[in-house]
Amino acid sequence: MKQLYIKQKVFSLNEKFTVKDEEERDVYYVEGSFMKIPKTFSIMKSSREEVALITKKVMSFLPKFYVEVNGNEVLTIKKEFSFLKARYTIEGAGIEVIGNWWDMNFEVIRNGEFIGKVSKEWFTWGDSYKIEILDEETETIVIALVIAIDCVKADHAAAASSSGAN
């Protein structure tokens, strides 16, 4: 099983970070569109070839994020209407998340079969995630899913802090 690590810098204004392997070599580069609409995150291999793109839909009543892998839309993460607690759903590509994806501790199932596992690394500076991937074929989907969920969480936190400020 292949292991990858995502560690985001806490005070990174340009929203750039890398995905590293077990030997701490950069495997993927992630670049966010700082202060642009629509908000996007591009995931590139070390050759700087884009392999996935995460886009926040603009002009929707509830937040919605699209995940493209190799030019094909494979996932949608959307907020559901709820009065008490924020609820989100993940749809597409036969992907199912089992566990607590809000706390970044979950397994990824595709068409009923285990393809990966994500766990949050504790006691680190910034958000750090360990990703275990069973098959190289699904590596990009799992990485895009983790980054998309992190985008949803950051968007939710920003919305909560702005509504709490009023």
pLDDT tens across 97-144, in order?
899 888 889 999 999 999 999 998 876 666 788 999 998 889 999 999
pLDDT at position 125, please? 62
Q: Are 141 and 69 in contact (CB under 8 A)?
A: yes
- CATH of the domain spanning 2-160, picked from 3.30.720.200, 2.40.160.200, 3.40.50.11540, 3.40.50.2020: 2.40.160.200
Q: Give the residue-averaged pLDDT of 9-14.
A: 53
The Cα–Cα gap between 37 and 47 comes to 26
Q: What is the pLDDT of residue 164?
A: 60
Give the pTM.
0.84
Q: Where are the beta strands (DSSP E) in 14-81?
A: 16-21, 26-32, 40-45, 50-56, 64-69, 72-80
Residue 83, strand partner residues: none
